[in-house]
């Protein structure tokens, strides 16, 4: 074995899990932790919005596949924009663990572009210690089938007839495609919500975006064998030229096309009616994502609320801790121009 091969084998593999808001990344990671087969894992969790919902969902994984000090949370931003400031210190903290992790899993925010993160693995101080085992793009099959990530071609054509200056600038589609363009594996999640025809159509749409042969694996609720997710040996940092992006010609980028707000909610009496009201608000204001925790009067457990568009689910995830403030908080994410005042007013009613 030559020196280069030996160096590659000595590096810790890292898996980047990307996917649009609400695709099911955290659920997939939870399943991975539950079936880690004793592998010593570490997590970096990145969220758009400062509540830290995903870390809370994964809290307690110390009895699964990673210890508490092996979870690093990067909130209120996108890791693709803060590589030097946030990602490098997070990596250094994990590599300082004794013993070090056997595999690092990085969950990007739903609005992050994976390619800038992969580029960071080519930096000398990271390249010597880590390699990108693979970039996994998680796709919300139901949202893709509903056309969430693509313009209606008929509607766009009519708009252009009325105003020829209208271009094609769909920030949702760009983020969605950039995540696919960087992928070594695509997980088509929530196939339990799709009929056979819709699943076939979404698979075809995904393949039309992918620049090379990439495996697409169907899943329901993120249930995927860890052997499929880990051990891809892609060394993605050596393959940057084959991972084109809509933002390749930009010196840097931002997420000004999207906005978020934090909503503090009082205790509620009925979970079903509250979530139903949230769904109506999300539909009326074209909200992309809602997630957070709420107190239900008379219940000892905390209510976890998650919404993708107007599609919501809720469950009691854990008891409120002794001395924990039972303050309900939700993060609401939408495109630029999100009417925060109207959303808050609707919630107050």
pLDDT band at 145 (very low <50, low <70, confident <90, very high): very high
Q: By the 8 A CB rule, do 237 and 133 touch? A: no
Percent of the chain whose pLDDT exceeds 70:
79
Candidate CATH numbers 3.40.50.300, 3.40.50.1220, 3.40.630.30, 3.30.1220.10; the one for domain 258-348: 3.30.1220.10
199-237 pLDDT, tens digit per residue, is: 999 999 999 999 889 999 999 999 999 999 999 999 999
151-185 pLDDT, tens digit per residue, is: 544 444 554 455 554 444 678 888 899 999 999 99
**Longest CA–CA separation in the chain, Å:** 69
The CATH H-level (homologous superfamily) assignment of domain 12-248 is P-loop containing nucleotide triphosphate hydrolases (3.40.50.300)
Q: How confident is the model at residue 68, as a pLDDT?
A: 66
Average pLDDT rounded to a whole number, residues 18-39:
88
- CA dihedral 26→29→34→36, nearest 10 degrees, is -170
Residue with tokens 């030996």: 6
Rounded-to-integer distance, Cα 229 and Cα 248, Å: 27
Which two structure tokens, joined as six digits, stand for 231? 């051990």
Q: How confident is the model at residue 33, as a pLDDT?
A: 86
Which two structure tokens, joined as six digits, stand for 9? 């084998």
CA nearest neighbour of 45 among 30, 34, 35? 30
Better-scored residue on pLDDT, 317 or 8: 317
Q: How confident is the model at residue 321, as a pLDDT?
A: 85
Length of the chain: 349
Asked if the model's pLDDT at residue 189 lies above 90, the reply is yes
pLDDT band at 36 (very low <50, low <70, confident <90, very high): confident
This prediction's pTM: 0.84
Better-scored residue on pLDDT, 75 or 282: 282
Q: Give the residue extent of every domain in the chain.
A: 12-248, 258-348
């Amino acid at each position: 074995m030559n020196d280069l091969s030996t160096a590659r084998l000595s590096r810790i593999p890292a898996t980047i899990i990307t996917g649009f808001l609400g695709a099911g990344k955290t659920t997939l990671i939870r399943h991975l932790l539950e079936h880690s087969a004793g592998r010593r894992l570490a997590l970096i969790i990145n969220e758009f919005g400062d509540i830290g919902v995903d870390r809370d969902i994964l809290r307690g994984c110390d009895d699964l596949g990673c210890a508490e000090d092996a979870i690093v949370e990067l909130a209120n931003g996108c890791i693709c924009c803060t590589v030097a400031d946030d990602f490098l210190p997070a990596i250094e903290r994990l590599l300082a663990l004794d013993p070090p992790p056997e595999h690092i899993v990085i969950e990007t925010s739903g609005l992050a572009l994976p390619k800038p993160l992969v580029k960071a693995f080519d930096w000398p101080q990271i390249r010597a210690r880590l390699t990108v085992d693979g970039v996994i793009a998680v796709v919300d099959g139901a949202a893709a089938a509903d056309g969430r990530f693509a313009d209606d071609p008929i509607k766009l054509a009519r708009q252009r007839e009325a105003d020829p200056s209208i271009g094609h600038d769909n920030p949702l589609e760009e983020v969605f495609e950039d995540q696919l363009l960087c992928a070594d594996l695509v997980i088509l999640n929530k196939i339990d919500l799709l009929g056979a025809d819709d699943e076939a159509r979404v698979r075809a749409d995904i393949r039309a975006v992918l620049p090379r042969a990439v495996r697409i694996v169907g899943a329901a609720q993120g249930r995927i064998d860890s052997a499929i997710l880990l051990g891809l040996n892609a060394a993605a940092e050596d393959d940057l030229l084959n991972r084109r992006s809509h933002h390749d010609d930009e010196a840097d980028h931002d997420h000004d096309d999207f906005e978020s707000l934090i909503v503090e909610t009082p205790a509620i009496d009925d979970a079903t009616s509250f979530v139903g009201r949230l769904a109506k608000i999300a539909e009326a204001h074209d909200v992309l994502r809602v997630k957070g925790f709420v107190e239900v009067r008379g219940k000892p457990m905390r209510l976890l609320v998650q919404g993708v568009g107007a599609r919501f689910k809720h469950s009691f995830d854990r008891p409120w801790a002794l001395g924990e403030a039972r303050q309900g908080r939700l993060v609401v994410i939408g495109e630029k121009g999100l009417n925060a005042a109207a959303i808050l007013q609707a919630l107050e009613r």
